[in-house]
Chains A and B, each alone.
Chain A
Amino acid sequence: MENKAPEVKVPAVVTPGEDVLIRTKAWHPMETGWRETHDGQTVPRNRINKFVCRFNGADVFSADFHSGVSENPYLTFHARVPGAGVLEFEWRVDDGSILRASAHVGIAGA
Protein backbone atom coordinates (compact mmCIF):
# COMPACT_ATOMS: atom_id res chain seq x y z
CA MET A 1 0.00 0.00 0.00
CA GLU A 2 2.74 2.44 0.90
CA ASN A 3 4.58 2.00 -2.38
CA LYS A 4 1.55 2.88 -4.40
CA ALA A 5 1.81 6.17 -6.26
CA PRO A 6 -0.78 8.87 -5.47
CA GLU A 7 -3.75 9.03 -7.80
CA VAL A 8 -4.97 12.20 -9.44
CA LYS A 9 -8.00 12.75 -11.65
CA VAL A 10 -7.97 15.90 -13.75
CA PRO A 11 -9.89 16.56 -16.97
CA ALA A 12 -7.51 16.33 -19.94
CA VAL A 13 -9.17 19.21 -21.79
CA VAL A 14 -10.59 22.33 -20.12
CA THR A 15 -11.98 25.75 -21.04
CA PRO A 16 -9.80 28.61 -19.68
CA GLY A 17 -11.31 30.27 -16.61
CA GLU A 18 -13.72 27.41 -15.99
CA ASP A 19 -13.86 25.65 -12.63
CA VAL A 20 -12.45 22.16 -12.90
CA LEU A 21 -12.86 19.51 -10.26
CA ILE A 22 -9.62 17.88 -9.21
CA ARG A 23 -9.72 14.64 -7.28
CA THR A 24 -6.66 13.33 -5.46
CA LYS A 25 -5.86 10.34 -3.36
CA ALA A 26 -2.55 9.47 -1.72
CA TRP A 27 -1.83 6.02 -0.34
CA HIS A 28 -0.51 6.47 3.18
CA PRO A 29 -1.36 4.98 6.61
CA MET A 30 -1.42 8.42 8.34
CA GLU A 31 -0.33 7.00 11.70
CA THR A 32 -1.24 9.40 14.50
CA GLY A 33 1.49 8.13 16.81
CA TRP A 34 -1.08 7.07 19.43
CA ARG A 35 -2.15 3.69 18.11
CA GLU A 36 -0.97 0.59 19.94
CA THR A 37 -0.53 -2.88 18.50
CA HIS A 38 -1.75 -5.99 20.32
CA ASP A 39 1.65 -6.51 21.92
CA GLY A 40 1.61 -3.06 23.47
CA GLN A 41 4.00 -1.37 21.05
CA THR A 42 3.14 2.17 20.09
CA VAL A 43 3.13 2.67 16.34
CA PRO A 44 5.37 5.67 15.62
CA ARG A 45 3.85 8.79 14.13
CA ASN A 46 3.94 8.88 10.35
CA ARG A 47 1.69 11.36 8.63
CA ILE A 48 1.38 13.44 5.54
CA ASN A 49 1.44 16.94 7.00
CA LYS A 50 1.18 19.10 3.91
CA PHE A 51 -0.45 18.94 0.50
CA VAL A 52 0.41 21.39 -2.26
CA CYS A 53 -1.01 21.81 -5.77
CA ARG A 54 0.63 24.11 -8.31
CA PHE A 55 -0.13 25.01 -11.90
CA ASN A 56 2.99 25.89 -13.94
CA GLY A 57 4.59 26.94 -10.64
CA ALA A 58 1.69 29.16 -9.48
CA ASP A 59 -0.05 28.27 -6.23
CA VAL A 60 -3.48 26.70 -6.70
CA PHE A 61 -4.37 25.00 -3.46
CA SER A 62 -2.60 23.74 -0.35
CA ALA A 63 -3.63 22.00 2.84
CA ASP A 64 -2.28 21.21 6.29
CA PHE A 65 -3.22 17.77 7.52
CA HIS A 66 -3.48 17.03 11.26
CA SER A 67 -4.39 13.87 13.14
CA GLY A 68 -8.03 14.02 12.07
CA VAL A 69 -7.43 13.24 8.41
CA SER A 70 -8.20 9.64 7.49
CA GLU A 71 -5.65 7.23 6.16
CA ASN A 72 -5.19 7.23 2.37
CA PRO A 73 -6.28 10.88 2.33
CA TYR A 74 -8.78 11.68 -0.38
CA LEU A 75 -9.25 15.32 -1.27
CA THR A 76 -11.15 17.14 -3.97
CA PHE A 77 -11.05 20.83 -4.82
CA HIS A 78 -11.56 23.16 -7.76
CA ALA A 79 -9.08 25.06 -9.91
CA ARG A 80 -9.47 27.81 -12.49
CA VAL A 81 -6.86 27.04 -15.09
CA PRO A 82 -5.85 29.99 -17.34
CA GLY A 83 -4.34 27.92 -20.15
CA ALA A 84 -2.57 24.72 -21.01
CA GLY A 85 0.08 23.46 -18.64
CA VAL A 86 1.00 21.01 -15.96
CA LEU A 87 -0.64 20.58 -12.57
CA GLU A 88 1.85 19.37 -9.97
CA PHE A 89 0.85 17.73 -6.73
CA GLU A 90 2.99 17.18 -3.64
CA TRP A 91 2.30 15.34 -0.43
CA ARG A 92 4.95 16.03 2.23
CA VAL A 93 5.47 13.25 4.75
CA ASP A 94 6.79 13.65 8.32
CA ASP A 95 10.04 11.82 7.51
CA GLY A 96 10.90 14.39 4.83
CA SER A 97 9.96 12.31 1.82
CA ILE A 98 7.61 13.75 -0.77
CA LEU A 99 4.99 11.91 -2.79
CA ARG A 100 4.47 13.49 -6.17
CA ALA A 101 2.01 13.37 -9.02
CA SER A 102 1.40 15.54 -12.05
CA ALA A 103 -1.19 15.92 -14.78
CA HIS A 104 -1.19 17.67 -18.15
CA VAL A 105 -4.08 19.95 -18.96
CA GLY A 106 -4.94 20.97 -22.51
CA ILE A 107 -7.22 23.68 -23.89
CA ALA A 108 -10.40 22.78 -25.74
CA GLY A 109 -10.16 23.42 -29.48
CA ALA A 110 -6.41 23.92 -29.46
Chain B
Amino acid sequence: MWELNITEVRLTRRQVVAAGGAAALTAALAGLLPAVANASPKDAKKKLAELTGGAPLEEGRIAIDVPPYTQYGKQVRIAVSVDSPMSAGDRVKALHVLAERNTVPEVASYYFGALAGEARISTRIRVARTQILIVAAEMSDGTFHVGKARCKVARGGGGCG
Protein backbone atom coordinates (compact mmCIF):
# COMPACT_ATOMS: atom_id res chain seq x y z
CA MET B 1 0.00 0.00 0.00
CA TRP B 2 1.06 3.58 0.44
CA GLU B 3 4.33 4.18 2.07
CA LEU B 4 4.00 7.44 3.80
CA ASN B 5 7.17 9.38 4.15
CA ILE B 6 6.39 12.09 6.60
CA THR B 7 9.17 14.09 8.08
CA GLU B 8 8.24 14.74 11.62
CA VAL B 9 8.44 18.36 12.58
CA ARG B 10 8.82 18.99 16.25
CA LEU B 11 9.54 22.46 17.39
CA THR B 12 10.60 23.42 20.84
CA ARG B 13 8.96 26.37 22.52
CA ARG B 14 12.18 28.32 22.03
CA GLN B 15 12.18 27.73 18.26
CA VAL B 16 8.54 28.76 17.95
CA VAL B 17 9.19 32.03 19.77
CA ALA B 18 12.26 32.72 17.61
CA ALA B 19 10.36 32.00 14.39
CA GLY B 20 7.50 34.25 15.50
CA GLY B 21 9.93 37.04 16.26
CA ALA B 22 11.54 36.74 12.82
CA ALA B 23 8.13 36.81 11.15
CA ALA B 24 7.11 39.88 13.13
CA LEU B 25 10.35 41.62 12.14
CA THR B 26 9.78 40.80 8.46
CA ALA B 27 6.22 42.10 8.67
CA ALA B 28 7.43 45.29 10.33
CA LEU B 29 10.03 45.80 7.60
CA ALA B 30 7.48 45.11 4.90
CA GLY B 31 5.24 47.70 6.51
CA LEU B 32 8.05 50.23 6.51
CA LEU B 33 9.18 49.55 2.95
CA PRO B 34 6.19 48.49 0.89
CA ALA B 35 6.96 47.37 -2.66
CA VAL B 36 4.42 49.77 -4.13
CA ALA B 37 3.38 52.63 -1.92
CA ASN B 38 0.37 54.83 -2.40
CA ALA B 39 1.36 58.41 -3.03
CA SER B 40 0.43 61.10 -0.57
CA PRO B 41 -1.14 64.48 -1.35
CA LYS B 42 2.37 65.89 -0.91
CA ASP B 43 3.60 63.92 -3.94
CA ALA B 44 0.67 65.18 -5.98
CA LYS B 45 1.46 68.74 -4.92
CA LYS B 46 5.07 68.25 -5.93
CA LYS B 47 4.03 66.82 -9.29
CA LEU B 48 1.62 69.70 -9.80
CA ALA B 49 4.37 72.23 -9.07
CA GLU B 50 6.60 70.39 -11.55
CA LEU B 51 3.93 70.51 -14.25
CA THR B 52 3.06 74.15 -13.69
CA GLY B 53 6.61 75.32 -13.08
CA GLY B 54 5.56 76.90 -9.80
CA ALA B 55 3.15 79.33 -11.50
CA PRO B 56 0.27 80.60 -9.35
CA LEU B 57 -2.87 78.50 -9.66
CA GLU B 58 -6.21 80.15 -10.23
CA GLU B 59 -9.45 78.49 -9.27
CA GLY B 60 -12.58 78.27 -11.37
CA ARG B 61 -13.21 77.75 -15.09
CA ILE B 62 -12.81 73.98 -14.73
CA ALA B 63 -15.81 71.72 -14.34
CA ILE B 64 -15.16 68.13 -13.31
CA ASP B 65 -17.86 65.53 -13.57
CA VAL B 66 -16.91 62.50 -11.50
CA PRO B 67 -19.17 60.25 -9.42
CA PRO B 68 -18.95 61.31 -5.74
CA TYR B 69 -19.19 57.66 -4.74
CA THR B 70 -18.24 54.55 -6.66
CA GLN B 71 -18.06 50.86 -5.85
CA TYR B 72 -15.58 50.02 -8.58
CA GLY B 73 -12.39 52.06 -8.75
CA LYS B 74 -10.96 50.38 -11.82
CA GLN B 75 -13.21 52.21 -14.22
CA VAL B 76 -14.35 55.60 -12.98
CA ARG B 77 -15.83 57.88 -15.59
CA ILE B 78 -14.53 61.42 -15.50
CA ALA B 79 -15.45 64.31 -17.73
CA VAL B 80 -13.55 67.58 -17.60
CA SER B 81 -14.48 70.78 -19.34
CA VAL B 82 -12.66 74.09 -19.29
CA ASP B 83 -14.52 77.31 -19.88
CA SER B 84 -12.52 78.67 -22.81
CA PRO B 85 -13.51 79.97 -26.28
CA MET B 86 -10.61 77.99 -27.82
CA SER B 87 -9.92 80.87 -30.23
CA ALA B 88 -6.43 81.48 -31.61
CA GLY B 89 -5.53 83.90 -28.82
CA ASP B 90 -7.32 82.34 -25.88
CA ARG B 91 -7.19 78.59 -25.69
CA VAL B 92 -6.29 75.71 -23.45
CA LYS B 93 -2.91 74.20 -24.25
CA ALA B 94 -2.89 71.24 -21.91
CA LEU B 95 -4.95 69.53 -19.27
CA HIS B 96 -3.38 67.43 -16.51
CA VAL B 97 -5.27 64.99 -14.31
CA LEU B 98 -3.75 63.97 -10.96
CA ALA B 99 -5.03 61.59 -8.30
CA GLU B 100 -3.61 62.44 -4.88
CA ARG B 101 -3.60 58.97 -3.39
CA ASN B 102 -3.00 56.71 -6.35
CA THR B 103 0.26 54.78 -6.48
CA VAL B 104 1.57 57.33 -8.95
CA PRO B 105 -0.31 60.64 -8.83
CA GLU B 106 -0.22 61.35 -12.57
CA VAL B 107 -3.22 59.93 -14.38
CA ALA B 108 -3.04 61.51 -17.80
CA SER B 109 -2.14 64.70 -19.66
CA TYR B 110 -4.07 65.95 -22.65
CA TYR B 111 -2.71 68.38 -25.21
CA PHE B 112 -4.96 70.42 -27.49
CA GLY B 113 -3.54 71.02 -30.97
CA ALA B 114 -4.39 73.70 -33.51
CA LEU B 115 -7.45 71.85 -34.79
CA ALA B 116 -8.88 70.93 -31.40
CA GLY B 117 -12.44 71.92 -30.61
CA GLU B 118 -13.80 72.93 -27.23
CA ALA B 119 -11.72 71.89 -24.24
CA ARG B 120 -13.90 69.07 -23.06
CA ILE B 121 -12.76 65.49 -22.59
CA SER B 122 -14.18 62.40 -21.03
CA THR B 123 -12.36 59.22 -20.11
CA ARG B 124 -12.17 56.34 -17.62
CA ILE B 125 -9.58 56.35 -14.86
CA ARG B 126 -8.42 54.17 -11.98
CA VAL B 127 -9.03 55.51 -8.50
CA ALA B 128 -7.15 53.52 -5.87
CA ARG B 129 -9.05 54.79 -2.81
CA THR B 130 -11.17 57.65 -1.57
CA GLN B 131 -9.33 60.79 -2.55
CA ILE B 132 -9.34 64.18 -4.23
CA LEU B 133 -8.71 64.39 -7.96
CA ILE B 134 -6.92 67.46 -9.24
CA VAL B 135 -7.22 68.86 -12.75
CA ALA B 136 -4.86 71.58 -13.90
CA ALA B 137 -5.34 73.46 -17.17
CA GLU B 138 -2.53 75.30 -18.90
CA MET B 139 -3.83 78.28 -20.85
CA SER B 140 -2.20 79.80 -23.91
CA ASP B 141 -1.36 82.99 -21.96
CA GLY B 142 0.73 80.96 -19.50
CA THR B 143 -1.69 80.99 -16.58
CA PHE B 144 -2.84 77.85 -14.83
CA HIS B 145 -6.29 77.01 -13.60
CA VAL B 146 -6.97 74.23 -11.16
CA GLY B 147 -10.07 72.31 -10.22
CA LYS B 148 -10.66 69.60 -7.63
CA ALA B 149 -13.22 66.88 -7.12
CA ARG B 150 -13.59 64.23 -4.44
CA CYS B 151 -14.31 60.65 -5.33
CA LYS B 152 -15.22 58.17 -2.64
CA VAL B 153 -14.39 54.56 -3.36
CA ALA B 154 -16.14 51.72 -1.55
CA ARG B 155 -13.96 49.61 0.77
CA GLY B 156 -12.16 47.00 -1.29
CA GLY B 157 -13.23 48.63 -4.54
CA GLY B 158 -9.97 50.38 -5.32
CA GLY B 159 -8.52 50.48 -8.78
CA CYS B 160 -4.77 49.85 -8.20
CA GLY B 161 -3.80 52.92 -10.18
Residues of chain A touching chain B, judged by Cβ–Cβ distance below 8 Å, are 19-20, 32, 34-35, 53, 55, 58-71, 73-82
Contact = CB atoms under 8 A, between A and B. Distances in A.
A76 B121 contact: yes
B115 A32 contact: no
Contact of A77 (B75, B102, B121, B159): B121
Interface string B27-68: 000000001100000000000000000000000000000000
B116 A69 contact: no
29 contacts: A20-B117, A34-B36, A34-B103, A35-B160, A53-B113, A55-B115, A59-B113, A60-B116, A62-B110, A62-B111, A66-B106, A66-B107, A67-B102, A67-B107, A68-B99, A68-B104, A68-B107, A68-B108, A68-B127, A69-B124, A70-B126, A71-B75, A73-B123, A74-B124, A76-B121, A76-B122, A77-B116, A77-B117, A78-B116
B1 interface: no
Interface in B95-148: 97, 99, 102-104, 106-118, 120-127
Given A53-B113, A75-B122, A76-B123, 13 more contacts: A32-B103, A32-B160, A60-B114, A60-B115, A61-B111, A63-B111, A66-B106, A68-B106, A68-B125, A70-B124, A75-B123, A78-B116, A80-B116
Interface residues of B, number: 35
B157 interface: no
Interface of B: 35-36, 74-76, 86, 97, 99, 102-104, 106-118, 120-127, 159-161
Looking at chain A's contact residues, is the secondary structure mostly helix, strand, loop, or mixed?
strand
B116 A79 contact: yes
Contacts of A63: 108-111
